[in-house]
Amino acid sequence: MQLYNKLSAEERRALIVAAGTERLTLSFYQYHHINNPQLFRDHLFVHWNALEVLGRIYVAHEGINGQLSVPAPRFEEFKSFLDSIDFLQDIRLNIAVEQDNQSFLKLTVKVRDKIVADGLNDSSFDVTDKGVHVNAQQFNELLSDPNTICVDMRNHYESEIGHFDGAVTPDVDTFRASLPIIEADLSDHKTDKNLLMYCTGGIRCEKASAYFKHKGFENVFQLEGGIIEYARQVKAQGLDNKFRGKNFVFDERRGERISDDVIAQCHQCGAPCDTHVNCANQACHLLFIQCEACQQKTQSCCSETCQEIVNLPEAEQKRRRRGTHNSNKIFKKGRSSVLKFKQ
């Protein structure tokens, strides 16, 4: 029985192209107590692998968080499988605004301590006492209310390329880092202001809203379904789009356009740009914003040093990478000192 991905990203890419089948990119999450996450994880992998589902899924005792790519002709099979699981029956699926058949190139299902790393002690507060869920129209109404403080619960590199009008965008690297900062900055408005929160698909706000209510905030609201569902409702209902720029996504697309506004700049030359790339040097892989002109000039590298490395023979590049491991701390996601304009 196959329980792990056995194909490389390039092998999978070739298979997707050869198949010529349209795929749907979607996401969902659900907080629910899972007694045996490892057993549940294996159950998911076996069934999803058979359905040719690809994606990144985290399973924990507290629930599941998934971003996936599903062959369009097999979507109903996929949905029927979800409905066969009690706590996933009729779950809301956030369908991507912009589709890409190669948004995911592997099926990765991992058991984690938490489905979102929040650094919170869940036993210290009632995680089910959440904020009020609002749809796109209600969100717009609250956003225009002068008694509302709107907070982006995402990280700096996400809000840099897109955010709601007038939103507070904490300059943080992680979700867990934002919670105490937001509490401290808004401590004088726990009772007299509406705290309106949003994130990519809603999962971070689920926990954050309960946390802030525990901390004394009385009027807490959260955008149901996040930016993804907001964009869908705006288009379907002809609502005023209050989001500017791109919505950062954690797959090969790296972003989906919500409005025509380009609010970010190339980290190397400063030209208007909101395209995230990873440095072509596999030993670096830095995530940063790079325009097409700089991509051509630097061979998609973040620095002259990395450009020198990518021009070495592949065998020499592999030798230099041997024994090293990239992590989020190494990536720095746009804060690296090598990014001249960003600095």
**Active-site residues: which are they?**
199
Q: Token pair for residue 149?
A: 């403080």
Q: How many CA atoms lie within 13 A of 96 on its CB side?
A: 30
**Cα→Cα distances 287→30, 65, 243, Å:** 29, 23, 23
Residues 6 or more apart whose CB falls under 8 angstroms from that of 30 comprise 63, 64, 87, 88, 91
Helices (H), the chain: 9-19, 37-50, 75-83, 136-143, 156-159, 175-185, 203-214, 226-237, 292-298, 304-310, 314-321, 328-331
Q: How many Cα neighbours within 13 Å face the side chain of 213?
A: 20
CA–CA separation, 304 and 310 (whole Å): 10
Widest pairwise Cα distance in the chain: 63
Which residue type occupies 170?
Answer: P
Measured in residues, the chain has a length of 343
Q: Cβ contacts of residue 113 below 8 Å, gap of 6+?
A: 60
Distance CA 335, CA 74 (A): 41
210 class by beta-carbon count within 10 Å (0-12 exposed, 13-18 middle, 19+ buried):
buried
> Token pair 């149901």 is at which residue?
224
- 295, two tokens: 């991509």
Distance in angstroms (rounded) separating the CA atoms of residues 84 and 206: 24
DSSP string, 129-198: ---EEE-HHHHHHHHT-TTEEEEE-S-HHHHTTEEETT-B----SSHHHHHHHHHHHTGGGTTTSEEEEE
